[in-house]
Amino acid sequence: MSTSQTANEYPPLERLPAHVGIIMDGNGRWACARNLPRLAGHRAGVENLRRVLRAAVELGVPILTLYAFSTENWRRPEEEVRGLLRILSEALDKEVDELHKNGVQLRHIGSLEPLPDDLKQRIDAAVALTRDNQQLIANIAFNYGGRAELVRAVQRIVAQGIPVEEITEATIAEHLYTAGLPDPDLIIRPGGEMRVSNFLVWQGAYAEYYVTPTFWPDFDKAAFYQALVDFNQRNRRFGGLNK
């Protein structure tokens, strides 16, 4: 395919979201549909991260927040949880150098506290290595929950002794994991489920939501571009009226 054909396949859009959140859902159902174990679906989902990160760069999206493992996912069968932790650890070993070379800045949002020490070290090392990269900011939400994030923010505000009358929405935003970043303009949910699942509950207050039946392992550049096309057609009023 020629360069011009490639460009025409994904023509530039008038508006691009500065920040896109993605709930990476449907790995288990993807595997079950193929008579594979659920962990095969999770492995395929992690491998798809590379493709979506590359697509974000090519399509011009500067910030992604990817919901990989929630605070509620610990309730899943122990074997599945152990497998997920192992897959993440392997992915960090395998992918971080390439992501670093391509200018991706990796950030972790969520609590590292219950994770195995070796996985904590891998995450910390990946964040440190890519800290100064500017091509794409990729927040990996692992052991993340929106309600837990708000509790943590309130605890930090109280610990700092900030007077009640001085606490504003900006104060809370400054104590979230995403402090310093714009709120997501668009949140995408592959897999077809119509719920928020405790993802960016504060930051997503005025995000546009896009739900697709495509399972996460099959969510490719074309699917991502279609979500951006849909975003361009939205009439964003933020509680007001268009003039």
Choice among 8, 35, 48, 73 that is catalytic: 73
Active-site residue 25, yes or no?
A: yes
Choice among 8, 25, 48, 117 that is catalytic: 25
How far is 43 from 66, CA to CA, in rounded Å?
15
Residues forming the active site: 25, 73
